[in-house]
A and B are shown apart, each in its own frame.
Chain A
Amino acid sequence: MKVVILGAGRRGIRLARHLVEENKDVIIIDEDADDVSTAMAKVDCLAIKGSGTSLEDLSDAGLEDADAFVALTGSDETNLVSSGIAASEFQVPLTIASIRNLSYTGYSGIGNSLMGITHIVNPTQEVAQYIYHDVERGIYSDVISFENSSLLLYNVYVDKDSPFANKLVKAVRKDINANFIIVALKRDGEALVPSGDTIVRTGDTLSLVAHEDSVGKILTSVGRKTMKPQKIVIVGATQVADFLLRALPKYQHKDITLIDMDKEVCEKMATMYPDVLVLNADITNEAVFEEENLGTYDLILCLTFNDELNIITASYAKHFGIKNSMALVNQNPNYVRMASHLNIDSIISTQDVTVDSLMRYMHGQNVSSMHSLFDGQIEAFEFAITEGNPTVGKALKDIDMKGKGIIAGVTKKDGSTTIPGGLYVIEEGDVIITIIERKSTEFIQRLLHVGSAASQIKAAKAEEAEAETASQADEQKKD
């Protein structure tokens, strides 16, 4: 599969890296010569200096036989136009444009009709959605939820007092009386999918998949509490905050305080959300914390444009007494790793969330969720078993994943969710959650028949064309 990415920024390079790891051919176009050579040095791809809106440059990049085109420059207009060209002039089956400006997309997004572009991704909306899920679940540490399932995936760090320490994986499962499964383990920076005989050591980070209702039980057993936040303070009246407030139920607005330095923006937000307490103040001003009694709040969300400010505020707020804190990182996803050593419960990178969402889309329509864990070493997929899937009718123990993957959950047609045992037989219509090592993505995808969006769209177009010729033939017969 050949993918052309426009824009060699951090997002472009991150997406390229994920795609190359899945053995796809990636070509990056950018106007900046330095960015082009950096891209070549960082990722095993072809980088070309050129403009995304020039027909000649796009043709040089080999758009004629590309399977997908993704426009990720900082300019909405460039992204729109170039994706439009890719769709109309080069007939690329899958075109994706990243667009931030609400005046193009509206709050609900736009359909597939615009300039023939197959998919539009709004990074702001994606990240707001992600935060919304976290707030709703009430857990703030690397929790991943799935579209069609009540199962959750989250990470637990094993310290020396942990009930997990120095036990076999299968023994841990027996000891704790809750329905869960250990799907991944990270030790010394290396992540792997464990077997029942893997020993959990102190210092490991475990990824667990469990039912929503048993999460509390498990977290209590490792000494952590979860609770849905009542009082929330949001710093930064940005578009992310706007999307988030729109998503949160109205009755919750009364418990939300929004702080921003810009008076004009504050006034706008106050008009839009009358129940929210909007403060026109500077969060770095010590008096704000005391005057407004911020220490009594359950959760602080730092959503300004300034990454450093978000991280510092989130860390400071914890010292001041706010129970949980969350910081948004807009520009530099490397801060996620650096700031993980500070006392912040969750650090979210817009770029990581966007790239995850893009990968999810490119993996195909039958994949409803896709997330990456541990710097992308592990991937979690949720996908539907469609008609003709070779695994239908097979018991899980008969599907040989070579220890590189694990099937962690099944949602049946009737909506019931289970963590399946080895004897479970896969049926058509099941939605399966599978956790796999990134290196083996391709192998597992083949094994489980996870399609890609491009091939599906291609097949659909071929069908259409066939139908057209058939109808033409019919007409000829009539003549």
Chain B
Amino acid sequence: MNLKKNIKLLAIVQIFLAILMIVPLAVSLHYHEMHAAHAFLITIGVMVVISGGALIVLRKTDLSGLNQRDGFFFVTFTWIIAAAFGAMPLVLSGDFKTFSSAFFEIMSGFTTTGATFLTDIEACSKGILFWRSMSNWLGGMGIVVLFVAVLPAIGANMGASTFHLVGAESVGPVKGKLTPKTKTTAIALWGIYVGFSLLETVFLLFGGLSGYESVTVTFSTMAAAGFCVKGSSIGSFNSAYVDVVVTVFMLIAGANFALYYKAFTGKVKSAFKDAELHWYFAIWGACTLLAAIQLQATGTYPSFAQALRYSAFHMASVITTTGFATANYLNWPAFSIMLVVLLMFVGGCAGSAGGGMKVTRIATLCKLGGNTIRKRIHPTSVSKIRLGDDIIHEDVVLSIGAFCAIYMMIWLLGTVILTLTGIDIETCMAASILSLGNIGIGFGKVGPAGNFSIFPQWSLWVCSFEMLLGRLEIFTVLTIFSRSFWKR
């Protein structure tokens, strides 16, 4: 691993983030929040001085020839640095009392978790809340992907290095490309992302939301993240129109962005033939329908249409790991709650903005189960695991198996550590999975109405780490902690 090259790249990313922070600074100035504006100015200053110094010292280091190992290191530290500096304005403005809680909040933002430490969201300054939502949006499609797409310095002379960088950040079991060049792939992904975001903002503006609300809600929807500038999430707007728009865009954010690229470049048919997409909608549709039927039958909601509206919204919110809420689903009957909890273990599609284990992994595991049964009946049978028309390579199946096993172990281990806080087991289990899956709402005391203020400061770091593990799909981060990574 090449430490100098990595530090130089990290310094460039930092300057890039400092430039992006000018946006919330402008918002603060617009709302005449001088304390928040100061906080952003100081943070930007500190970031520029540190990274500028590093760049001067390393001006001769050339950036070519980064390998996969560098990719793991660079991506993990990009996210840690982004969260650390992103947390500074939260503390400096006085809205957050401790660095632990601010770091937790912004890590929850960048990893698109959407879990909050705040008890009274609307008491915060608007600039800070805007930055919180913006961190969602930046993290959704990936900081490194944006970095590769936008910065001209990162391009041809880095050769295949950029592929390793983007690969370490993108989600899903198989890393691919849309176009021959990594840079144009990154530009295409962000282009689609920005396009959908603009579309949703316009739809929300039609729904009567203010410009500020529309933009921040869009930020969190398209990133499948879940921060909201209102106290009771999307429920605050109390509008069926907004619910439907947000549901649709959550589902869009949770599907594979490569498919949109395919569809936009004229291969609509093959985009719709994608097996993962079918699984994704089948799982969401089945859960939505079952819950809606029960919610109407038990009289929780007066009409089937009402039941369908709430059930569709929350099922979409959880499967895409967004974590918006329009009602407290913990007041629903047990079967419907359990359906919501079940979806927490599914997550979005590969190559989407969503978190979780990903539909393609779950589907592959189901197929693997079927294959194993067939092997028992016909011991000599030869069968490949296929998803739609694609055959899943055995190496990939193995890595999917390992991923899911480690995922569950981390969930349980996180729960065990969190119970040291003395909080009840149900809440700890929920906190652990909602962090690891980047969901943001769970059950117990951290349900749609709850928040993390009940947790002591030290436990917030545990949750922050789980969020990072979940967003970077475990192995990117864990590799850095293995001993052989640092040995030759």
Chain A residues close to B by CB (< 8 Å): 2, 17, 20-21, 23, 25-27, 33, 40-46, 439
Contacts and interface: CB of A to CB of B under 8 A. Distances in A.
Interface stretch (B179-187, B380-388, B452-460): B179-187
A21 B159 CA distance: 7
Interface centre among B68, B158, B164, B177 (most CB of A within 10 A): B177
A43 B156 contact: no
Given A44-B159, A44-B162, A26 B180 contact: yes
A43 B160 contact: yes
B156 A21 contact: yes
A439 B157 contact: yes
B269 interface: no
Determine the main DSSP class of B at the interface with A: helix
A163 B182 CA distance: 47
A33 B159 CA distance: 21
A43 B179 contact: no
Contacts of B162: 44
22 contacts: A2-B180, A17-B159, A20-B181, A21-B156, A23-B156, A25-B180, A26-B180, A40-B160, A40-B163, A40-B177, A42-B160, A43-B159, A44-B158, A44-B159, A44-B160, A44-B162, A44-B163, A44-B180, A44-B181, A44-B182, A45-B180, A46-B180
B483 interface: no
Contact of A20 (B159, B164, B184, B393): B159
Interface centre among A20, A23, A42, A46 (most CB of B within 10 A): A46
Contacts of A439: 157
A33 B68 CA distance: 19
B471 to A, nearest CB: 23
A465 B184 CA distance: 33
Contact of B180 (A21, A27, A41, A42): A27
Contacts of A40: 160, 163, 177
Nearest to A22: B156
A46 B179 contact: yes
Contacts of A2: 180
A52 to B, nearest CB: 17
Q: What 4 A-B pairs have minimum CB-CB distances, sorted nearest first?
A: A25-B180, A46-B180, A44-B160, A45-B180
Contacts of B157: 439
Contact of A41 (B156, B163, B184, B393): B163
B179 A25 contact: yes
Contacts of A20: 156, 159, 181
Contacts of A26: 180
Contact of B177 (A23, A33, A42, A46): A46
Contacts of A27: 180
A137 B180 CA distance: 42
A27 B177 CA distance: 11
A41 B157 CA distance: 15
Nearest to A45: B180
Interface string B314-349: 000000000000000000000000000000000000
A50 B157 CA distance: 29
Interface centre among A2, A27, A40 (most CB of B within 10 A): A40
Nearest to A43: B160
A113 to B, nearest CB: 31
Given A17-B159, A41-B163, A46-B179, 20 more contacts: A2-B180, A20-B156, A20-B181, A21-B159, A25-B180, A25-B181, A25-B184, A27-B180, A40-B163, A40-B177, A41-B68, A41-B164, A44-B158, A44-B160, A44-B162, A44-B163, A44-B182, A45-B180, A45-B181, A439-B157
Interface in B174-210: 177, 179-184
A439 B64 CA distance: 12
A33 B174 CA distance: 13
Nearest to B184: A25
Nearest to A46: B180
B230 to A, nearest CB: 44
Contacts of A23: 156
Interface centre among A41, A42, A43, A44 (most CB of B within 10 A): A44
B179 A41 contact: no
A25 B181 CA distance: 7
Nearest to A44: B160
A460 to B, nearest CB: 26
Nearest to B161: A44
B357 to A, nearest CB: 23
B393 A33 contact: yes
Contacts of B158: 44
Nearest to B159: A44
Interface centre among B156, B157, B162, B184 (most CB of A within 10 A): B156
Interface in B144-165: 156-160, 162-164
Contacts of B184: 25
Contacts of B179: 25, 46
A330 B393 CA distance: 32
Nearest to A26: B180
B177 A41 contact: no
A17 B161 CA distance: 13
B323 to A, nearest CB: 34
B104 to A, nearest CB: 36
A28 to B, nearest CB: 9
A23 B182 CA distance: 12
Contacts of A41: 68, 160, 163-164
Contacts of B163: 40-41, 44
Nearest to A439: B157
Contacts of A33: 393
Nearest to A27: B180
Contacts of B393: 33
Nearest to A40: B163
Nearest to A28: B180
Contacts of B156: 20-21, 23, 44
Nearest to A438: B157
A329 B160 CA distance: 26
A25 B180 CA distance: 5
Interface in B56-100: 68
A438 B157 CA distance: 10
A36 to B, nearest CB: 11
Nearest to A42: B160
Nearest to A24: B180
A26 B68 CA distance: 21
A40 B179 CA distance: 12
A25 B179 CA distance: 8
Interface in B386-440: 393
Contacts of A44: 156, 158-160, 162-163, 180-183
Contacts of B68: 41
Nearest to A4: B180
A42 B393 CA distance: 21
A208 to B, nearest CB: 27
Contacts of A45: 180-181
A2 B180 CA distance: 9
A46 B393 CA distance: 19
A44 B156 CA distance: 8
Contacts of B181: 20, 25, 44-45
Contacts of B183: 44
A439 to B, nearest CB: 6
Nearest to B270: A60
A45 B164 CA distance: 12
Interface string B7-25: 0000000000000000000
A63 to B, nearest CB: 13
A20 B179 CA distance: 13
B71 to A, nearest CB: 10
Nearest to B179: A46
Contacts of B180: 2, 25-27, 44-46
A472 to B, nearest CB: 32
Nearest to A17: B159
A442 B124 CA distance: 52
A252 to B, nearest CB: 45
B229 to A, nearest CB: 40
